Structure 1
Amino acid sequence: MTGMRVLGPTVDDQTRCIHYRTELDVIAIRFACCGEYYPCHLCHAEAADHPAEQWPLDRRDERAVLCGVCEHELTVAEYLGVDACPACGAAFNPGCKLHTELYFEV
């Protein structure tokens, strides 16, 4: 990745981190509390100086998910409705859906 800054302990340039680094772990989330991109909730907890906040339901039209393969930014609503990047087709980890409530109000 060249343009977007992703904070936390990333292990490659496609936003994989020390916590989640499978072939499908290629997104970063812009946290509602600080507006910064982190690969996961654990990275935010370790690196940020404040608690994480969920994206509220009424802000689902904001770009908050970054594809680590092509740097396309998805809105919250768009991300929640797909299994792959709409711009480049890179598959996203379906296991991320298990953590939806950590990032987004449901």
Structure 2
Amino acid sequence: MHDVKGTQVDAQTRCVHYHSDIDIIALKFHCCGTFYACWSCHEEHAGHKPSRWPREQWNQRAVLCGNCGYEMTIQEYMNTSSCSSCSHRFNERCSLHYPLYFDMESRP
């Protein structure tokens, strides 16, 4: 299984900050290539400032389904509300945090 960093991370990548049944994704941060349960976990544990994934790299596998361990591309994740492999539903409100992880202003 993947090593997901964070505070009180469970087997399905939930953390102390986000822990509902549908909070089951972890993101690989562009700056360090490490999976964290959420932005706040990165802030608390990484020891460096985050950087966002540029649009031209949205084909990278950087989103982890905590239910089955499938790694999807950023673009694949942004185009679905559930895992492409196991169909477990994701928290759709996570899209509000896209600008924290992904450069929403860069040109393709």
Aligned counterparts of 2:55 and 2:8: Cα–Cα separation in 1: 28
1:93 pairs with 71, 91, 108, which one? 91
Q: How many Å separate the matches in 2 of 1:11 and 1:4?
A: 12
Find the counterpart in structure 1 of residue 54 from structure 2: 56
- Please report the TM-score for the alignment, with normalisation by the length of structure 2: 0.94
**CA offsets, 1:7-43, max 9 Å, x none?**
1113420000000000100000000000000010000
Residue 23 of structure 2 is aligned to residue 25 of structure 1: yes
Percent identity, aligned pairs only?
A: 45
The aligned length equals 104
Unaligned ranges ≥5, structure 1: none
4+ residue segments displaced more than 2 Å: none
Aligned to 1:39: 37
Q: Secondary structure at the match of 1:95?
A: helix
**What does the per-residue CA deviation read over 1:47-86, in whole Å, with 9 as the maximum and x for residues that have no partner?**
0010111000110110000000000000010000000001
Name the CA distance, whole Å, in 1 between partners of 2:83 and 2:8: 20
- Give the TM-score normalised by structure 1: 0.96
Contact 1:6 1:37 (C-alpha < 8 Å) held by counterparts: yes
For the 8 Å contact 2:9–2:37, the answer to whether it is kept is no
List runs of 5+ in structure 2 lacking aligned partners: none
Distance in 1, Cα, partners of 2:5 & 2:69: 15
The answer on whether the counterparts of 1:64 and 1:75 sit within 8 Å (CA) in structure 2 is yes
> 3-state DSSP class of the match of 1:64?
strand
